[in-house]
Amino acid sequence: MSEPDTAKTILVTGAGRGLGRALAAQLTARGDHVIAHARSEGTLDGVPCKSRLIADLATPETLADAVAAAGIDHLDALIHNAGIARVEPIATQTLDWWQQTLAVNLAAPAELTRLLLPALRAARGHVVFVNSGAGLNAGPLWASYAASKFGVRALADALRAEEQGAGVRVTSLYPSHFDTDMQRSVREQANSNYDPERATSVDSIAKAIVDVLNTPADMVINEMRIEPPNPLPIRPKS
């Protein structure tokens, strides 16, 4: 069976698990050509994709070689999904963790976007930043993660303004409390209860992103906030 002419080429970072894997599945199912990114080949076992981009976002200086080797000259969408988080007081967060968080969550998306801008411009493509509620409000224990996500918000806003003339659309997505390994890890670090029934599913978040990509060419959703109807607050267990 031949592939549809409407197939889009879409790069998803952090495609090995959680939201990234759900996105790869949904996009592939509708006939798109997914470029799945992960830090290692093994992480992408079972992930449906057309090709792979293997690169460590903790070392943004290595991304140029990885992108050059991938030979991407036309890119309809770039979805920045990968990220790391540690919930810990500023008093105990080490410099190494600050540097790693800012590298993975902010510097790497900035560098990857820069490297892929020619391909995005050629396609009049779409850049989607999966941000966080922490990118809008910073609470106790969230300093390094929130700082990185506030930076991603600034990156998205500047990119949107700079690339409007080239036809590149930019969307920031702010999901809150959705069911991923990261959310479970955050709850464990904060000694907080977790209830997946009170979290949005990864499939629902993935569908929202696919819907954003489906918006007509004469409009763009600049920002979208998503949360479950009855989220469980992150509070230490009593």
Q: How far apart are CA 106 and CA 49, in angstroms?
A: 25
**pLDDT interval class at 5 (50, 70, 90):** low
Q: Report which of residues 196 and 71 the model is more confident about.
A: 71
Tokens of 152: 């991603």
Query: Please, are residues 68 and 22 in contact by the beta-carbon 8 Å criterion?
Result: no
Average pLDDT, whole number, for the chain? 92
Is the confidence at residue 182, as pLDDT, over 90? Answer: no
Query: Please, are residues 193 and 154 in contact by the beta-carbon 8 Å criterion?
Result: no
Query: Please, are residues 198 and 231 in contact by the beta-carbon 8 Å criterion?
Result: yes
Structural domain includes residue 232 = no
Residue 167 — φ and ψ, nearest 5°?
80, 10
Is the confidence at residue 40, as pLDDT, over 60? Answer: yes
Structural domain includes residue 173 = yes
Structural domain includes residue 67 = yes
Residues, the chain, total?
Answer: 238
Determine what percent of the chain is predicted with pLDDT higher than 90. 79
Question: By C-alpha distance, which of 233, 235, 101 is closest to 176?
Answer: 233
Residue 41 — φ and ψ, nearest 5°?
-60, -45
Structural domain includes residue 2 = no
Determine what percent of the chain is predicted with pLDDT higher than 70. 95
User: Helices (DSSP H) in 124-199: which residue ranges?
Assistant: 143-163, 181-189
Structure confidence at residue 4 (pLDDT): 41
Residue 129 CB contacts under 8 Å (≥ 6 apart), including other chains: 80, 109, 152, 153, 155, 156, 170, 171, 172, 173
Domain with 124, as residue range(s), is: 9-226
Structural domain includes residue 4 = no
Structural domain includes residue 3 = no
Question: By C-alpha distance, which of 102, 107, 131, 117 is closest to 223?
Answer: 131
Number of domains in the chain: 1
Residue with tokens 């809008």: 136
Q: Report which of residues 190 and 57 the model is more confident about.
A: 57
Is the confidence at residue 234, as pLDDT, over 80? Answer: no
**pLDDT interval class at 3 (50, 70, 90):** very low
Q: What is the pLDDT of residues 102-152, one digit of tens each?
A: 999 999 999 999 999 999 999 999 999 999 999 999 989 999 999 999 999
Is the confidence at residue 1, as pLDDT, over 50? Answer: no
Structural domain includes residue 234 = no
CATH number for the domain including 40? 3.40.50.720
Q: What is the pLDDT of residues 216-230, one digit of tens each?
A: 999 999 999 999 887
Q: What is the pLDDT of residues 109-121, one digit of tens each?
A: 999 999 999 999 9
